[in-house]
Amino acid sequence: MSSSVTTFKRPSKTNANNSIREEESTSKGSFDSDRQQKPQFRDERFRRMELMIEFTNLRNPKHCPSGVYVMPSAEFYVWYGVVFVHKGYYKGGIFQFKIDIPKDYPDIAPVIVFPSSTINNQGLFHPLVHPETGEFSLTQQFKDWAPHKYYIFHILHYIKKSFKKSVLDNLLEQDCLGVDAYKFYNKDIKTFTKMASQSAKFSRSDTVLFDNNSDANPIQFSHLGPEKLDELKTFMNPPKVEKEKERPSFFFLAEHFLHPLCLLF
């Protein structure tokens, strides 16, 4: 946090005594400003607390868009997410991404990355995604990024909308990291449709979806056997006649999603 020098504007007409007091105030303010910085209220603990509040608020349906799931790592300055796309060019896609949160957030925006390994080592074919690094461009939507004006949930909504035609139609080339994808979308929509569909297909393939090599990622996908699938269906739609019967255990799902939270509280 940068320090500022306290100064007072000298009026055009004043008596000698007022002038002296004014000069003393000016010099004292400058001296104090040079000698000590303003108190650093936004320390590490305060920033972590702000992030924890942001994450907790994602339970609000208006904050976290449907089809998007996010979990923080133990380090907490890295969040992992996945977006399920149900319509459009990327229909059927299950795209995993990572949110790198800088230590001076919210003064600086987070960095969103779609790992290349999730799309058969080729990168997500999308106008806003760099084909090699996987970085997701935020510049067009958040040119005027400012603390307490935008939050991570705004970024999550933009990620979800970025797969929709309404956003793709209005992208500017200067803000796109996937230049080839941008050009194909505007000049050869057939090829773009094919590439986007291919990206969606790769994202849900077994080799990609169940590649759980990253221990830091709390979102892990695994095959659901017939017995567990039936148990889940029963839990979601319990028999109406047997109301008193205890519902099937669902801890086989909860332990994967709630355990990381236990590390934070």
Cα distances (angstroms) measured from residue 73 to each of 115, 141, 216: 16, 26, 6
User: Which spans in 58-169 are helix H?
Assistant: 152-161, 165-168
Distance of CA 40 to the CA centre of its chain: 26
- Residue 2 to residue 128: CA distance in whole angstroms: 33
| Per-residue pLDDT tens digits for 2-54 | 444 434 344 444 444 444 444 444 444 443 444 444 444 457 788 888 899 99
Q: Tell me the one-letter amino acid at 7.
A: T
| Per-residue pLDDT tens digits for 173-196 | 999 999 999 999 999 999 999 999
- Residue 202 to residue 67: CA distance in whole angstroms: 18
- Residue 101 to residue 235: CA distance in whole angstroms: 36
| Per-residue pLDDT tens digits for 225-246 | 888 888 878 887 877 655 444 4
Answer whether 0.85 is exceeded by the pTM.
no
- Residue 240 to residue 65: CA distance in whole angstroms: 31
- Count CA within 13 A, CB hemisphere, residue 108: 9
What domains can you pick out in the chain, each with its CATH number?
A: 1-39 (no CATH), 44-209 (3.10.110.10), 226-262 (no CATH)
Rg (CA), the chain: 26
